[in-house]
Chains A and B, each alone.
Chain A
Amino acid sequence: MTPIGVRGRVGPRLSAALPRATAVVVGLGLLAAILGLSGYPLGTILDGTIKGSLTAPGAWQSTLRWMIAYVIIGAGVLVTVRAGFLNLGAQGQFYSGAIASVWVALRWKSGPAPLVIAAGLIGGAAAGALWSLIPGILKVVWGTDEVITTLMANFLGILWLRWVTNGPLKNPIGSGESTSTESIAKQFRISSGAGVSVWTICAAAGVLAATWLLISRTRFGVLSALTGRNQLMASWQGIDAKRSGLVSFLVSGGAAGLAGAIEVFGPNGRVSSGFAPDIGFTAILVAIIGGLSIIGLVIAAFVFALLQAALLYLPIVTDLPPSALNLLRGTVALFITVGTVGGAVRLRRARTIASQEGGERVSK
């Protein structure tokens, strides 16, 4: 089967990228207007943004560090959304990967570094994949709405992390208030605290390459794209959506879990309760803004990583609260999918048979 559907979309994709880019630009403009009206010095903020994300010492590493995480998690989200599932569970999958990998590293303290690192990363990816598989099975076998189950799984992941860092893996040395695990051994770290090394960059590049291969060069890629765009048509063509559905959930969980493991073995060296609370949602946004294409994903991840890095730097030059980025994320999320419901550029899940039977969407 030739992947016509996938290749033929390159043209429309470029034109479809315009409204999404507009949403980001409008969001940024709105943020600037709000900041300006609230009396923040815009020049200083712009200057600080450029410094904090690109030119200051260590700034571009900071940008790259976030970009690596967004790209890896976003690649997984891309695969599921493309297959027609709105998988919101990246945060929980990310946490479960982080927890599993820190557990490996703390349990196997004396192991040879390459083996422990490999076990930690694989274990993290596996834990994320399992975490994601549950909503996946519920969805493909019983049709349980994945939006609810993945959202619930996120909250369960947050609680699990809180429990782990408070109880079983709590750092005994820290003060009573400390809610994080011990740091993993130094020889296991694949990057410094800055989070950028050959290994982490290779991991991100590897995930991107694998995702590209998966969606454009495999049977799964073609079938899942068909199912994602029109489940009814796909089923008429005899496509079994169950398998590709499960695979897409596994891939997305595995990617998010791997990102969690990389956080542990890379920049963080441990997990603490509620760390990186926005990473999952940002990655979902990044995948959508990128129009579910690999190049789009990389560009969008770069923009959001740049803003994240800048935001961590800005308090040095001005008293801008960290919430400013939530303001931007929220605005972008509100408007990013404008026109997608019922429109030609449909991001959303395939319509189910019932809604067709109900007389809706017959014209589509």
Chain B
Amino acid sequence: MSVSANDIFQLLATTLRASCPLILAAIGATYAFRAGIFHLGLDGLMLFGAFGAIAGTRSTHSPLIGVIVGVATSVVASMLFWLVIVVLKADPVIAGLGLSTLGLGATSFALQAIFDSRGAIYVDQGLWRPVVGHPTGMLSIVSELSILVWATPFIVMISWVVLRRTLFGLRISVVGEYPFAARSAGVSPAAIRLKALLITGVMCGLAGAELSLGSLRSFTENLTQGRGFISFTAVVFGSGGAIASAIAGLFFGFADAVGIQTQLAANGLEIPRELVLAIPYLLTVLAVWYSSRRRKQLGVTSGGFSELRDS
């Protein structure tokens, strides 16, 4: 078997397409993570975003309004999550899993109730694609990518600046690390967490919109297929750093792309696709184990990630 240049371009293109929603959702979860919220509801938010985007586009024939509807749906769901875990003091882990399940149930149900469909609903227009029509050659890497994929690197950089170089970012970290200190300084942890979760909602809405409107132009039941959990994994792997999480998301997208390619190629080289897909999870277990071991060596025992600390 020989690998041609075009195969590599294809692999890179698939990587970009597969990792964009992962990175967007991971960036969203970074805000929540730094604010001390262990967000397992990303998958649900992405599903809300994806469904809202398609439903909005179908009824208005405008992908832009579709994206807005998708983001709005996801933001509303994210506020519900804030209400439940911050105001009503529910367990963030169980509530997050509940949010993901709710997203799955609600979007599948709405698919049936609104569009009377158990299969897929399609739209004729997707998101704007700046570069189109290069099936081969170097440009095929970026050909047919939606505007959201192009925007993702900027979103990552802006998020890094916001989280690391602004007062708001500092407040988010303080609330996550030590809410007692935040409160002493007159910063309300609840308010900061609301803002962080709103950003998570926007990002997951965009991630969902990219999935449904950007690459596929359709919505099917369980469209995300657990991508929200992979994004969450990327954040844990990147230990809450915007750029590290984005790189982890890119890598997980690459693993996904390799998985797709090995499945498509199905040539002599027999690597089970499942093994490739397992890599992100295995690496994350290793990374979390390593960081806990390190903490133990340094004598810093801290609570689990999943503590919603409150003073």
Contacts and interface: CB of A to CB of B under 8 A. Distances in A.
Interface stretch (A54-62, A139-147, A251-259, A299-307): A139-147
A12 B106 CA distance: 35
B90 A143 contact: no
Interface in A330-364: 330-343, 347-349, 351-355, 358-360
Interface in A290-349: 319, 321-343, 347-349
Contact of A360 (B288, B292, B309): B309
A162 interface: yes
A241 interface: no
B94 interface: yes
B44 to A, nearest CB: 7
Contacts of A38: 109, 113
B98 A333 contact: yes
Given A145-B304, A167-B272, A343 B292 contact: no
Nearest to A40: B113
A142 B180 contact: no
A118 interface: no
Interface string B85-104: 10011111111011111111
B42 to A, nearest CB: 12
Interface stretch (B62-70, B201-209, B293-301): B293-301
Contact of A86 (B93, B112, B302): B93
Given A167-B272, A330-B44, A348 B91 contact: yes
A352 B301 CA distance: 8
Contacts of A288: 94
Contacts, number: 198
A88 interface: yes
A333 B101 contact: yes
Nearest to B101: A330
A166 B81 CA distance: 38
Nearest to B116: A319
A42 to B, nearest CB: 14
Contacts of B95: 333-335, 337
A145 B306 contact: yes
Nearest to B118: A321
Given A152-B284, A159-B278, A337-B90, A331 B104 contact: no
A327 B109 contact: yes
Among A143, A334, A339, A349: residue with most chain B CB under 10 A? A334
B288 A163 contact: no
Main secondary structure of the interface of B (DSSP, over half): helix
A151 B229 contact: yes
A92 to B, nearest CB: 10
A120 B175 CA distance: 50
B303 A326 contact: no
B84 A338 contact: yes
A353 B299 CA distance: 12
Contacts of A324: 105, 109
B259 to A, nearest CB: 10
A334 B305 contact: no
Contacts of A34: 109
B251 interface: no
A152 B285 contact: yes
Interface string A263-307: 000000000000000000100110010000000000000000000
Contacts of B304: 145-147, 349, 352
B310 A336 contact: no
B102 A152 contact: no
Interface residues of B, number: 67
A138 interface: yes
A160 interface: yes
Given A152-B284, A337-B94, A342 B104 contact: no
A155 interface: yes
Interface in A144-180: 144-149, 151-153, 155-156, 159-160, 162-163, 166-167
A142 B292 contact: yes
Contacts of B274: 159-160, 162-163, 166
A151 B96 CA distance: 13
A142 B98 contact: no
Contacts of A343: 89
Contact of A163 (B272, B292, B303): B272
Contact of B84 (A151, A156, A335): A335
Contacts of A333: 94-95, 97-98, 101-102
A330 B178 contact: no
A360 B309 CA distance: 8
Contacts of B288: 144-145, 148-149
B108 A88 contact: no
B296 A143 contact: yes
A332 B98 contact: yes
A156 B293 CA distance: 22
Contacts of A166: 272, 274
A293 B281 CA distance: 33
Contacts of B112: 319, 321, 323
Contacts of A149: 285, 288-289
A160 B281 CA distance: 12
Nearest to B232: A151
A138 B289 contact: yes
Given A159-B274, A330-B99, A338-B84, A144 B292 contact: yes
17 contacts: A86-B306, A138-B289, A148-B284, A148-B305, A156-B278, A281-B101, A321-B109, A322-B108, A323-B105, A331-B98, A333-B101, A334-B80, A334-B90, A335-B84, A339-B88, A341-B85, A360-B309
Given A152-B285, A321-B112, A338-B84, 6 more contacts: A38-B113, A39-B113, A88-B93, A144-B292, A326-B108, A360-B179
Interface of B: 38, 40, 44, 80-81, 84-85, 88-95, 97-109, 111-113, 118, 178-180, 221, 226, 229, 233, 236, 272, 274-275, 277-278, 281-282, 284-285, 288-289, 292-293, 295-296, 300-311
Interface of A: 34, 38-40, 86, 88, 138, 142-149, 151-153, 155-156, 159-160, 162-163, 166-167, 281, 284-285, 288, 319, 321-343, 347-349, 351-355, 358-360
